[in-house]
Amino acid sequence: MQKFFVAGMPRTGSTLLATTLDQHPGIKMLGELFHPVARERSGPHAIVRSDGSTRFFDPNAEDGIEFLRNEVWPAPAPEAGAIGFKLFGDYLKAPTTERLFMRIFEAFPDTKLVTIWRNNLLDCLISRQVARASGKWMESAKARRSKVPAAVVSIDPIEAENFFKGYSDVKGFLDSLSKQVPSFAVDYDELVRDFAGVSARLFSFLELEKVPVKQALKKQAQFPQSHYVKNWKELREHFSSTDYEKYFID
């Protein structure tokens, strides 16, 4: 059994990646087992056992590593060729999971790391804000192309700056970690552009046979940035001559 987890941040393509991994017959792909919100851990991200019962992590009653050892990667190893889950970088600041990334590799040194990232952080922020406003967090690959944006939002410059900084800090951490452990980096835009090729290379990294998979979700942003953000020009001016200026591509 190959142990792995997918690391990234919200709105960087992790759901598309997870649905891709889940299509492989040799992979058991779990959700965000350490989600900071209890109802998310006990609901959509809980482990569903073969008898239909569920199991979820309780930070007040158990240690994260013991939870993984007992419920996710038990010995003897299950029949699945690979078992993984999602672990977002913002959990670095969550109680009981702030050292979880490093502790995983200390306790399970044969674990592999898969990172997913979206290089344009303004696209990430727009995706989050539009999803919050519209309530539409994902879109099936079979859905018809929309003729209008799902929502139009205003973005506060300070909120945007904090977002850029927070995501950049996590990216730095994941880049550093990737140099220390077996890792495979997935670029979201490349995954969308070359879905079959990236998927095949990822399966090889996990030491599994290549199998045909279908793109279950499609990129929701179908229009230029300014079509989604009312104050796009003001934001661009605010970040002019900063490190974040490069994200403003319309």
What was the pLDDT predicted at 92? Answer: 65
Q: Which residues of the chain have pLDDT under 50?
A: none
What was the pLDDT predicted at 122? Answer: 97
Q: Using an 8 Å Cβ cutoff, are 49 and 245 in contact? A: no
What was the pLDDT predicted at 192? Answer: 92
What was the pLDDT predicted at 97? Answer: 61
Q: Using an 8 Å Cβ cutoff, are 82 and 202 in contact? A: no
Return phi, psi of residue 58, to 5°.
Answer: -115, 100
What was the pLDDT predicted at 147? Answer: 82
What was the pLDDT predicted at 80? Answer: 78
What was the pLDDT predicted at 123? Answer: 95
What was the pLDDT predicted at 109? Answer: 96
List the Cα angle 59/136/236 in 5-degree steps: 95
Model pTM score: 0.91
DSSP bridge pairs for 183: 113
What was the pLDDT predicted at 94? Answer: 57
Q: How far is CA 184 from CA 36, 85, 94, 106, 206, in A?
A: 25, 15, 25, 19, 9
